Amino acid sequence: MTMGDPAGIGPELALKAWLHRAAIGAPFFVLADRRLLADLAARLGLDVPVVAVEAAGAAEIFDHALPVVQLTNEAGAEPGKPQAKYAAAILESIERAVGLVHAGEASAVVTNPIAKAVLYEAGFRHPGHTEYLGELAARWGGAARPVMMLWSPDLAVVPVTIHIALAEAPRALTREAIIETCRIVARDMRKRFKIDRPRLALAGLNPHAGEGGAMGREEIDVIAPAVAALQGEGLDVVGPLPADTMFHAAARKKYDVAVTMYHDQGLIPLKTLAFDEGVNVTLGLPFVRTSPDHGTAFDIAGQGRANPASLIAAARLAARLAAA
């Protein structure tokens, strides 16, 4: 488990996740500053012993203490006060987590929230966590086409275009992008979620899925041809469907994953239905990665108010997918 931004709620969530370790059902360790976590536990009155260990020895103490693999970069942030000087520690936590999985010393990566603006100030050049993990996968010799899925027991969504301005989404939406995304989704739903024939429902880009071309031609020129190509490969894919009728309870029973054309088209319904249980899962990587579906919440950091439900769900799902 990574630390996330040390000034955000990630450290508090990690402490609370250990207190709910029975709900997770698998041991974990945190790549962080041991003193930061120990001081925060004392400040919040959380009964969490924090012990610095090597990754290989984490499982031995997990039942009695939260194992922490110590970072080399400074991470002693004050809650609610993010600073670019901690960017090195944030990225070290992520990079070392991936390296430990690659080395066989961990089975999955669970990431706590980061603030991209803080990292940009320090020269970070990736749009977000997902894209950075793709680079790390390529560095370790694995596949480098990450696909972001938001998963909950009630709904799973995958946006084809992710961390770009809404005005740029139609230009970035191509047949090739849709086809490649859906191939990865179908493959990982079979491999990791053990769904023999995953059902994918593709949303249209425009209102009413374009209304036959009256409200845009992306459905006709881009999305429908991609659907036809995927069906020709034997995948169970339907669409383009009007996005405003895809997410009610009866509609959700007809598919396993909703593939949306831009970020908020899928994340708004997911977070409305399952804000506390939603998990960010990165498909298309040679390792399992999950994360809470919320941000750093600097405004409540260090106050004991952070809800660990999404991190607990992320850790539980990571254990399930790694076992698969």
Are 115 and 218 part of one and the same domain?
no
Higher pLDDT, 209 or 178: 178
Does 246 lie in the same domain as 206?
yes
- Is pLDDT above 80 for 318? yes
Separation between Cα atoms, residue 315 and residue 26, nearest integer Å: 8
> Whole-angstrom Cα distance, residue 278 to residue 198?
20
CA angle 64, 70, 72 (to 5 degrees): 175
Do 199 and 300 share a structural domain? no
Do 140 and 156 fall within a single domain?
no
What is the β-pairing status of strands 289-292 and 279-283? antiparallel
Strands across the sheet containing 50-52: 30-32, 66-70, 50-52
Mean pLDDT comparison of 56-65, 252-261, 286-295, highest-scoring range: 252-261
pLDDT band at 276 (very low <50, low <70, confident <90, very high): confident
Structure tokens at 136: 């790390």
Are 95 and 126 spatial neighbours (Cβ–Cβ below 8 Å)? Answer: no
Are 235 and 252 contained in the same domain? yes
* pLDDT the model gives residue 122: 79
Token pair of 130, please? 């997902």
In whole angstroms, how far apart are CA 308 and each of 12, 305, 314?
Answer: 8, 9, 10
Rg (CA), the chain: 20
Are 21 and 124 part of one and the same domain?
yes
Closest CA to 224 of 175, 297, 161: 175
Same structural domain for residues 142 and 16? yes
pLDDT band at 202 (very low <50, low <70, confident <90, very high): very high
For residue 302, pLDDT beyond 90? yes
Considering the domain architecture, whether residues 158 and 87 belong to the same structural domain is answered as no
Asked if 52 and 201 sit in the same domain, the reply is no
Do 298 and 236 share a domain, yes or no? no
What are the tens digits of pLDDT across the range 106-151?
Answer: 999 999 999 888 888 878 888 777 788 888 888 877 666 889 999 9
Q: Is 159 helix (H, G, I), strand (E, B) or coil?
A: strand
In this prediction, residues 38-65 reach a mean pLDDT of: 94
User: How does residue 182 score in pLDDT terms, banded at 50, 70 and 90?
Assistant: very high
| Mean pLDDT computed over every residue of the chain | 93
Least confident piece of the model among 93-97, 210-214, 244-248, 255-259: 210-214
Residue 175: CATH number of its domain: 3.40.718.10
Same domain, 137 and 31: yes
Q: What is the pLDDT of residues 254-267, one digit of tens each?
A: 999 999 999 999 99
pLDDT at 129: 79
pTM reported for the whole predicted model: 0.89
Question: Is residue 35 classed exposed, middle or buried when 0-12, 13-18 and 19+ CB atoms within 10 A define those classes?
Answer: middle
Helices (H) and strands (E) in the chain, counts: 14, 11
Containing structural domain, residue 1: 1-146+286-324
CB neighbour burial string for 74-111, b if at least 16 within 10 angstroms, e if fewer: ebebebbebeeebbbbbbbbbbbbbbbbbeeebbbbbb
Number of domains in the chain: 2
Percentage of the chain beyond pLDDT 90 is: 78
What are 3-14's pLDDT values in tens digits?
999 999 999 999
The SS3 call for residue 27 is: coil
Which residues have a Cβ under 8 Å from the Cβ of 174 and sit 6 or more positions away? 222
- pLDDT at residue 173 greater than cutoff 90: yes
For residue 144, the Cα-to-chain-centroid distance in whole angstroms is: 16
What pLDDT is stored for residue 142 in this prediction? 63
> Do 136 and 2 belong together in one domain?
yes
